[in-house]
Amino acid sequence: MELADVRNIGPKTLEKLNAYDIYTPTDLLLFFPKRYYFYEVDNAHAFSGEVVCFKATLVSRPALIKTRGHAKAFVFYALVNGYKTKCIIFSGDYLRFKLQINMEIIGYGKYKHKEREFSLSNIFFDDFTCKVELDYGFKDINNKLISNAVLATIKSGFKVPDELPSLYINKYKLLNIDDLIYLAHFPRTKEDCLKVNRRVRYEDFFWYTASLEGLRLLRGFEQKTPKIYDYNLINNLIAKLPYSLTVDQEQALNEILNDLNNSKIMNRLIEGDVGCGKSIVAFLAAIASISAGYQVALMAPTEILANQHYLNFKKLFPNFQVELLTSSVKESNKREILYKLLHKRVDLIIGTHALIQENVVFSKLGLIIIDEQHRFGVRQRKALIDKFKNVDCLYLTATPIPRTLGLTSFGDLDLSLIKTKPAKRKDVITKIVSKDGLEVLGPILNKHLALGEQIYVVVPLITENENLDYIDINAAYDFFAELLPKSHLAKLHGKMKAADKNAIMADFTAGKINCLISTTVIEVGVDVKNATVMVILDAERYGLSQIHQLRGRVGRSDIQAYCYLVSSKDNVERLAILERTSDGFLLAEEDFKLRGPGDYLGDEQSGFQSLNIDFNSKDVIIWKCAQEDSREFVAQYLNGVVDNAKLSNILAKINSKKTKIN
Q: Is 493 helix (H, G, I), strand (E, B) or coil?
A: coil
Tell me the pairing of strands 52-58 and 104-112.
Answer: antiparallel
For residue 183, what pLDDT is reported? Answer: 95
For residue 68, what pLDDT is reported? Answer: 57
What is the domain count for the chain? 2
Residue 363 pLDDT class (50, 70, 90 cuts): very high
Contacts 24+ apart (CB under 8 A), 63-68: 64/96
pLDDT in tens, 486-534: 899 999 988 888 888 888 988 998 999 999 999 988 866 577 889 999 9
DSSP string, 118-161: EEEEEEE-S--SEEEEEE---SSS-HHHHHHHHHHHHHTT----
Strand order of the sheet with strand 365-371?
322-325, 348-351, 295-299, 365-371, 392-397, 267-272, 414-418
Residue 649 scores a pLDDT above 70: no
For residue 225, what pLDDT is reported? Answer: 92
The most confident of 274-288, 547-561, 606-620, by mean pLDDT? 274-288
Residue 606 pLDDT class (50, 70, 90 cuts): very low
Q: Is 531 helix (H, G, I), strand (E, B) or coil?
A: strand
CB neighbour list of residue 239: distance below 8 Å, 6 or more residues apart: none
For residue 631, what pLDDT is reported? Answer: 87
Last residue of a domain, one of 548, 581, 614: 581
Last residue of a domain, one of 581, 607, 623: 581
For residue 395, what pLDDT is reported? Answer: 87
Report, as an integer, the average pLDDT of 336-347. 94
Report, as an integer, the average pLDDT of 136-151. 91
Strand order of the sheet with strand 489-492?
429-434, 562-567, 531-536, 454-458, 515-518, 489-492
- Among 173-177, 225-229, 341-345, 617-621, the range scoring the smallest mean pLDDT is 617-621
Residue 455 scores a pLDDT above 70: yes
For residue 611, what pLDDT is reported? Answer: 38
Is-contact 399 269, C-beta < 8 A? no
Residue 325 lies in a domain: no
Residue 607 scores a pLDDT above 60: no
Phi–psi pair at 39, nearest 5 degrees? -125, 120
Report, as an integer, the average pLDDT of 46-62. 94
For residue 383, what pLDDT is reported? Answer: 63
For residue 615, what pLDDT is reported? Answer: 47
d(CA 631, CA 360): 37
d(CA 578, CA 600): 19
Interior angle at CA 588, CA 585 and CA 589, nearest 5: 90
Is-contact 565 576, C-beta < 8 A? no
Count of positions (residues) in the chain = 662
Is-contact 391 368, C-beta < 8 A? yes
Domain that holds residue 84: 42-127
For residue 660, what pLDDT is reported? Answer: 37
CATH number at residue 569: 3.40.50.300
The most confident of 208-222, 238-252, 264-278, by mean pLDDT? 238-252
Residue 590 lies in a domain: no
Residue 188 scores a pLDDT above 50: yes
d(CA 171, CA 202): 12
Residue 225 lies in a domain: no
Report, as an integer, the average pLDDT of 590-615. 45
- Among 23-32, 346-355, 606-615, the range scoring the smallest mean pLDDT is 606-615
For residue 195, what pLDDT is reported? Answer: 93
Is-contact 43 5, C-beta < 8 A? no
Last residue of a domain, one of 563, 581, 599: 581
d(CA 93, CA 105): 18
Instruction: Tell which wins on pLDDT, 257 or 68.
Output: 257
For residue 574, what pLDDT is reported? Answer: 79
For residue 535, what pLDDT is reported? Answer: 95
Report CA-CA distances (Å) from 548 to 227, 373, 539, 542. 37, 17, 11, 10
Q: At what angle do helices 190-221 and 617-638 cross, to 10 degrees?
A: 50
Residue 662 lies in a domain: no
Residue 605 scores a pLDDT above 70: no
Residue 360 lies in a domain: no
Residue 439 lies in a domain: yes
Residue 144 scores a pLDDT above 80: yes
Instruction: Tell which wins on pLDDT, 323 or 528.
Output: 323
Residue 478 scores a pLDDT above 60: yes
d(CA 624, CA 622): 6
Is-contact 545 578, C-beta < 8 A? no
pLDDT in tens, 374-399: 545 555 556 666 677 789 989 888 76
d(CA 337, CA 117): 72
Residue 603 pLDDT class (50, 70, 90 cuts): very low
d(CA 282, CA 290): 12
pLDDT in tens, 409-449: 566 678 888 888 777 778 899 999 988 888 899 999 999 99
CA 108 to chain CA centroid, Å, is: 33
- Among 56-70, 301-315, 431-445, the range scoring the smallest mean pLDDT is 56-70
pLDDT in tens, 543-582: 887 888 888 888 888 889 999 999 887 657 778 888 888 8
CB atoms closer than 10 angstroms to residue 473: 22
Residue 61 scores a pLDDT above 80: yes
CB neighbour list of residue 397: distance below 8 Å, 6 or more residues apart: 269, 270, 271, 272, 372, 373, 374
For residue 358, what pLDDT is reported? Answer: 80
Residue 157 scores a pLDDT above 70: yes
Q: Is 508 helix (H, G, I), strand (E, B) or coil?
A: helix
Report, as an integer, the average pLDDT of 60-76. 80
Buried b (16+ CB within 10 A) or exposed e, 290-317: bbbebbbbbbbbbbbbbbbbbbebeebb
Residue 474 lies in a domain: yes
Residue 464 lies in a domain: yes
CATH number at residue 78: 2.40.50.140
Instruction: Tell which wins on pLDDT, 594 or 203.
Output: 203
Is-contact 660 31, C-beta < 8 A? yes
Sequence letter at residue 595: R
Is-contact 505 513, C-beta < 8 A? no
Q: Above pLDDT 90, what percent of the chain?
A: 47
DSSP string, 36-82: EEEEEB-GGGTTSSS-EEEEEEE-S--EEEEEETTEEEEEEEEEETT
DSSP annotation of 272: E
Instruction: Tell which wins on pLDDT, 32 or 659.
Output: 32
Q: In sequence order, what E strands does 437-550 have?
A: 454-458, 489-492, 515-518, 531-536
